[in-house]
A and B are shown apart, each in its own frame.
Chain A
Amino acid sequence: MVKDQGQTRSELLPGTLEMLVLKTLMRGPMHGYGIAQYVGQTSDEVLQIEEGSLYPALQRLLLKGWVTAEWRQTPNNRRARYYQLTPLGRKQLVVEAANYNRIIEAIARVMQSA
């Protein structure tokens, strides 16, 4: 893996961002920056989200009622907006994860067939 930034950043499949956010929030309430950090780090920086695009996605999740938001103090005493999964969001994550697996398997089958 070449880690030259900006060149080999992998594009996300459409709709995957929301799933990643939901999955990240399974670990507990987190702010936008923290979510971006976590996704970047756990994917070994392969999945570099364009961090700005995180915010419209979060608004959508709020609208659908899958997450709730709350202003809290960070450990460094700064005010940040923490997002938290709702029960509805948990259910949605299960659905999306299942979908995702189906697609990945399908793609894998196609790729192996050649």
Chain B
Amino acid sequence: MSKFLQLFNRLLFLLRRKQLESELEEEMRFHLDMKVQEKIEAGLSPEDARHLALRAFGNITLAKEDSRTMWGFRYWEILWQDLRFGARMLLKKPGFTLAAVVTLALGIGANTSIFSIVNSVLLRPLPYEDPDRIVMVWMDNRKLKIDQDIHSYANYADYRAQNQVFSEMTAISQRSFNLTGEGEPERVMGAAATSSFFSVMRVTPVVGRAFTLDEDQRGRDKVAILNYGLWQRRFGSDPQIVGKSIQLNGISRTVIGVMPAGFTFPGKETNVWVPLAPDPQLMSNRSGFWLTVVGRLKPGVTLEQARAEMGAIAKRLESQYPDINASYGVNLVPLHEQVVGTIRPALLLLLGAVGLVLLIACANVANLLLVRAAAREREIAIRAAHGASRSRIIRQLFTESMLLAMLGGGLGVFVALWGLGVLKSFSPSDIPRLDQIAIDKRVLVFTLAVSCLTALVFGLVPAIQASKPNMNEILKEGGRGGSAGVRAARARHLLVISEIAMALVLLIGAGLLIKSFSRLQEVNWGFKPDHLLTARLQLPRSKYADAQQVRNFYEQLLQRLNAMPGVQSAGAVSDIFLSKTPNSTNFSIEGQPQKIGAESIEVPYDSISPNYFEVMGTPVVKGRPFNDRDVEGSPLVVIINQTFAREFLPGEDPLGKKLKYDSLDGPAPWFTIVGVVADTRRTGFDSEVRPETYIPHAQEPSAGMTLVLRTKTDPAGLTAALGNEVLSVDKDQPVYDIRTMDQLLVEKIAQRRFSALLLGLFALLALLLAAVGIYGVMAYSVAQRTHEIGIRMALGAQKRDLLGMIVRQGMILTAVGISLGLVVAFALTRVMSELLYEVSATDIQTFIIIPLILAGVALLANYIPARQAAKVDPMVALRYE
């Protein structure tokens, strides 16, 4: 502790050097003046008084000098000396310095950029009050194997009333609204939430107020709160916004508040909040699932306690309402986990990978230093002979290492700045909080710490080695490799072995990721993804109250879209592409016993336009697609996919069979199966294909539809035209999420592409560094053995033998390194198995090919110096000295 205080004071003194000098001067003058005055008052003459005072004071210069020593400038002088000397030594060997600094800069820079991503994505707390107390409460749907499913209101109400672990819970339904009125109609994302939302999130509006308890009641809920961005953009930050009314989905609502800037929970783009206020029938409904539930843990309650209690309530609800709640559990996920959970393993993997790259870089620099230390043996021995203590020599050498590391670190920050720019340009948009990534104070501290650590790792061993020279021998020997030679060679060999091992681990990891990424590219989607444009529409209930209106709108719109120039065909489907939670319901098949409760099975159902499969390019493998005669009033029809047929009608002809969906209101009608379509991976590449059913939009209209356009030209070029067509059918109807299918699919695999690309890059860097390391060590060893090689040649050794001898030596190191690396890789790649797609973590192919590649590169790095050795002229070599 007091050591730290002293160091701190030393630093303070150093910074205030000038001031200290003048203060000391003044205080001594004061002292003398007082003394003189004292003597004069005692009756002496001014001259005598002055004389006596000076005598009593003693040597002024010495006192000042001693004081300066006390300030510890000597300490800094030594450091300064070491630094200057170190800098001179580095400048003397610019090649060595450049190689070391660049190697370190690459290593440290890569670490800095990955850490700055980790810092802002994983480490920085979420921008809410006590964010670690906020927990997502999901339904664990064991029936559909969806562990983050949404709740019914009745279940939510029971959870909320019966638990003792949450101080407050809120139910949220993500909505999207057509915002109309002044200006263009606009589609805004929003959320309906209970008034408890504000106490769960602990957020208060910056303008106006939050929802009140009575606004949770239907009829009093015609209010809205705006997101800060929307308030700025659409309403020009109007300070008088509170009390004004806006039109959402054709319903007038009074604005009562504006949320703080940056607050967008639950969605990334939540722009508007309205009260949830369900009607009483919906409140008592247990089987309609539509609510995202979030809770704030009571102080002192742990996540485990909450899990236990909520799990118990779920069990109770399961046995209480077996026909609905059977196999529905509860799944608690902390909010932070929810936000960063999917990206965390990839980021940690990358952080580990850059750590390895830096270690390899350190090994290279340590090698360089060992070689240099050998060259400086004499210099160091002479210093020691002149009385430099061992600690003084270590300090000097270590200062040089520190200097190298700091140069590398400084340059590394620039490498990181550049690297981050590149990273951001191709990183996936679904990395949470990507926009906040920056090199902040914490990142810089990290870089500084890593640089110091780096200096310790690469500098300490060479410094200690070099500081214990056997002086007699070195000074006597007159120049050629001293006694430390053997020891240093062993150290260099160990470094090379570990470098190769680490590079192999990285290469295998990258190989696995790249292989799984290429598997992804070959996924059979079950439809033709090219030349497809998709867009989403949601008709407001206020304007399209009955089914006929909805039907008319889509019929009219699809007619226009089909006639659009550049469009081959246009269709529509009610579900959203690649959504993990499709609309689904229980069903039963005619002639099969009806399954209820835990036995019951859900299937997704989708309303489609008759030409949907044709537009998507999904083949109808049996029966027929829908046609214009499948309308309201005609017999109800359904098309199933192959998985449905396989699972529920095995060995039977599905055509003509009937199924019905369990609906709440009244007896459900039977639908006749008229066709079977090929399976598609509509919910994403990484989930298994599930049974699916399709019904004609004309018979079962849906207000929300996804438009799909098969285009003749580049689909992205039709975006604006599509919007205009929609407006010409209804001028208040916005269309949103206009994307090409290629874009949608790329977004889905972007995260994997990101990590595969980066890990590949790091592995390549590691390979390069390791190759340079082997080359360096072998070249040095050959140079040292010139004499020996000359003798061997003079004694009749053939070039081929020499080549073999040296290459063999290098390849033994390589082989040891590779075996070590294989063992480590075998143990380590398991941790990345969740990042792999249809590739085993111990994929044989990868574990064979990658070591061969590495061995090939190592062979090359060995061969070049070996050939040099074989070219040695024995006469020159023998004279060499």
Contact = CB atoms under 8 A, between A and B. Distances in A.
B803 to A, nearest CB: 65
Contacts of A63: 6, 9-10, 13, 70-72
A23 B28 CA distance: 21
Interface residues of B, number: 31
Contacts of A36: 31
A71 B27 CA distance: 10
B6 A53 contact: no
B34 interface: yes
Interface residues of A, number: 24
B546 interface: no
A56 B66 CA distance: 5
B67 to A, nearest CB: 5
Contacts of B70: 56, 59-60, 63
A62 B59 CA distance: 22
A78 B70 CA distance: 27
Contacts of A88: 2
Given A32-B31, A81-B23, A81-B27, A52 B59 contact: yes
Interface in B184-200: none
B5 interface: yes
User: Looking at A48, A79, A81, which has the most chain B CB atoms within 10 Å of its CB?
Assistant: A81
User: Looking at A6, A48, A52, which has the most chain B CB atoms within 10 Å of its CB?
Assistant: A52
Given A60-B70, A63-B10, A33 B5 contact: no
Chain B contact residues, majority secondary structure: helix
User: Looking at B13, B24, B35, B67, which has the most chain A CB atoms within 10 Å of its CB?
Assistant: B67
Contacts of B9: 62-65
A52 B10 contact: no
Nearest to B66: A56
B262 interface: no
A50 interface: yes
B30 A56 contact: no
Interface in A13-57: 31-33, 36, 48, 50-53, 55-56
A75 to B, nearest CB: 12
Chain A contact residues, majority secondary structure: helix
Nearest to A48: B56
Contacts of A52: 28, 57-60, 62-63
Nearest to B70: A59
B389 interface: no
Contacts of B10: 63
Nearest to B23: A81
A107 interface: no
Given A33-B35, A81-B23, A55 B30 contact: no
A64 B9 CA distance: 8
Contact of A56 (B31, B33, B63): B63
A79 B26 contact: yes
B68 to A, nearest CB: 8
A12 B71 CA distance: 23
B67 A55 contact: yes
A103 interface: no
Contacts of B33: 78
B663 interface: no
Contacts of B72: 63
Contacts of A6: 55
A80 interface: yes
A85 B10 CA distance: 19
Given A33-B35, A63-B6, A63-B10, A53 B63 contact: yes
Contacts of A59: 24, 67, 70-71
Interface string B30-50: 110111000000000000000
A3 to B, nearest CB: 14
B6 A33 contact: no
A6 B56 CA distance: 9
B69 interface: yes
Contacts of B59: 52
User: Looking at A51, A60, A62, A65, which has the most chain B CB atoms within 10 Å of its CB?
Assistant: A51
A79 B26 CA distance: 9
Contacts of A33: 30-31, 34-35
Nearest to B52: A5
Interface in B5-22: 5-6, 9-10, 13
6 contacts: A32-B27, A51-B58, A59-B70, A63-B10, A63-B72, A64-B6
Which are the 5 A-B pairs with shortest beta-carbon distances? A56-B66, A52-B63, A59-B70, A52-B58, A50-B58
Interface of A: 6, 31-33, 36, 48, 50-53, 55-56, 59-60, 62-65, 71, 78-81, 88
Interface of B: 2, 5-6, 9-10, 13, 23-24, 26-28, 30-31, 33-35, 55-60, 62-64, 66-67, 69-72
